């Protein structure tokens, strides 16, 4: 195990490196001599390395920015939906090396574990740790209520660890995605943001003061039923105009199909809207208004002025970004900072990367591979 200071130093170098020593010292609150004392063993072990370019503007003896050895760590992240396994293999900085997905054969936890283990053996090579993310309530790695899989109190991490013999971390999918954004996305420039995902479902996550809010409610999907339009369609729970009724792929498909004579996929509706089809624009415009209101609501109530949009339905942004921004601004009070919207357009890959990031974080926390690396 690393001490708290050691962990903070390695984490900062991993997510921000190459980083000049003075910036690193300021970030972790250490004096320059203390930092040198702390960093020296990591340089000796080979986990941290100095880059070839000297720090610019440094006073006194020249130093070189620090970075984590480029080949440190290889991780897998898997998002399990109701019908597919979405997998990514990443390096220690969550940069995707391999992505792959396949249809789920069964929902039984043992069968899913067998299928996933075989799938990973085919595509990953050797990995240090695996992160798994699922929709629903996950507490301390236990899938308490896996809504899309029908799982109750499933210790899926234990099933996978028994098959693969490596550490496995299981987390709620939106929490994992928020962790990815915190370390390798929006979190690099701000300590707090709200995260909204749209696609098969609607997800909401929150990072405050550099921490992901991960209470039991974080996985309960409550934000999906916040009401956004007075006269919107009804969701399955009977709410009129809630986020679920206006923003999911199912909603976009359903509303457009009702206006036309056949059924469509959400992607086809977005394509039709992009071509200028009036009925499709009506549907996407209504969704954009709802998402704009959702963005403002998230920013206003969480007291965070940055909102990150992600998920497999985020193609809506490219089509209706202006309308969303307009709607978000309209619900922002006078005197407030403008809402800064960041969009992760990587779709399903982002979910799987989120799962990989919780595996990276776990590995770091446990100090595995941190000392005596060479
Ligand atoms: Zn609802």
pLDDT at 1 over 90: no
Question: Taking residues 268-296, what's their average pLDDT?
Answer: 97
Domain annotation for the chain: domains and CATH numbers:
4-68 (1.10.10.10), 74-178+350-366 (3.30.420.40), 187-343 (3.30.420.40)
Mean pLDDT of the chain: 93
**What is the 245 CA–ligand 1 centroid distance (Å)?**
6
**What is the 224 CA–ligand 1 centroid distance (Å)?**
6
**In the sheet where 306-310 sits, what is the strand order?**
211-212, 202-208, 193-198, 306-310, 340-343
Which residues have beta carbons under 5 A from ligand 1 (an ion)? 225, 235, 237, 239, 242, 244
Neighbours of 257 (CB within 10 A): 15
Instruction: Give the integer Cα–Cα distance in Å for 286 and 228.
Output: 10
**213-239 CB burial, b ≥16 within 10 A, e <16:** ebeeebbebebbbbbbbeebbebeeeb
State pLDDT tens for residues 178-225.
999 999 999 999 999 999 999 999 999 999 999 999 888 888 889 999
Neighbours of 342 (CB within 10 A): 16
pLDDT at 373 over 50: no
What element of type H or E holds 177?
Answer: helix 173-184
- Residue 53 is predicted with a pLDDT of 76
- Residue 333 is predicted with a pLDDT of 85
Q: What is the pTM of this model?
A: 0.93
Antiparallel, parallel or unpaired: β 84-91 and 96-103: antiparallel
**What is the 220 CA–ligand 1 centroid distance (Å)?**
13
State pLDDT tens for residues 299-351.
999 999 999 999 989 999 999 999 999 999 999 988 899 999 999 998 888 99
Instruction: Give the integer Cα–Cα distance in Å for 266 and 264.
Output: 7
């Amino acid at each position: 195990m690393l001490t708290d200071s050691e962990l903070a130093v390695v984490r900062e170098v991993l997510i921000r490196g190459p980083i000049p020593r003075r910036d690193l010292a300021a970030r972790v609150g250490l004096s320059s001599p203390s930092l040198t004392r702390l960093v020296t063993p990591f340089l000796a072990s080979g986990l941290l390395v100095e880059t070839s370019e000297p720090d610019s503007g440094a006073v006194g003896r020249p130093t070189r920015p620090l970075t984590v050895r480029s080949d440190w760590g290889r991780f897998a992240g898997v998002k399990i939906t109701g019908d597919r396994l979405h997998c990514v293999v990443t390096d220690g900085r969550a940069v995707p090396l391999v992505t792959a997905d396949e249809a789920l054969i069964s929902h039984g936890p043992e069968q899913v574990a067998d299928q996933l283990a075989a799938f990973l053996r085919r595509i990953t090579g050797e990995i240090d740790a695996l992160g798994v993310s699922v929709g629903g309530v996950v507490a301390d790695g236990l899938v308490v209520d896996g809504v899309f899989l029908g799982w109750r109190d499933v210790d899926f991490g234990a099933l996978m660890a028994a098959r693969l013999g490596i550490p496995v971390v299981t987390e709620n999918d939106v929490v994992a995605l928020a962790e990815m954004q915190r370390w390798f996305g929006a979190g690099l420039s701000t300590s707090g943001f709200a995260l909204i995902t749209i696609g098969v479902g609607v997800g909401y996550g929150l990072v405050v003061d550099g921490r992901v809010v991960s209470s039991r409610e974080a996985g309960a999907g409550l934000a999906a039923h916040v009401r956004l339009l007075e006269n919107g369609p009804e969701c399955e729970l009977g709410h009129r105009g809630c986020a679920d009724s206006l923003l999911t792929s199912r909603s976009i498909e359903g509303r457009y199909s009702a206006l036309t004579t056949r059924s469509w996929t959400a992607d086809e509706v977005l394509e039709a809207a992009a071509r200028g089809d009036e009925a499709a624009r009506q549907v996407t415009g209504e969704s954009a208004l709802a998402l704009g209101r959702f963005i403002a609501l998230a920013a206003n109530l969480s007291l965070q002025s940055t909102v990150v949009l992600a998920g497999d339905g985020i193609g809506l942004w490219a089509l209706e970004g202006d309308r969303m921004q307009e709607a978000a601004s309209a619900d922002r009070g006078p005197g407030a900072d403008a809402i800064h919207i960041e969009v992760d357009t990587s779709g399903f890959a982002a979910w799987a990367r989120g799962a990989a990031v919780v595996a990276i974080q776990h590995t770091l926390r446990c100090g595995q591979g941190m000392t005596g690396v060479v």
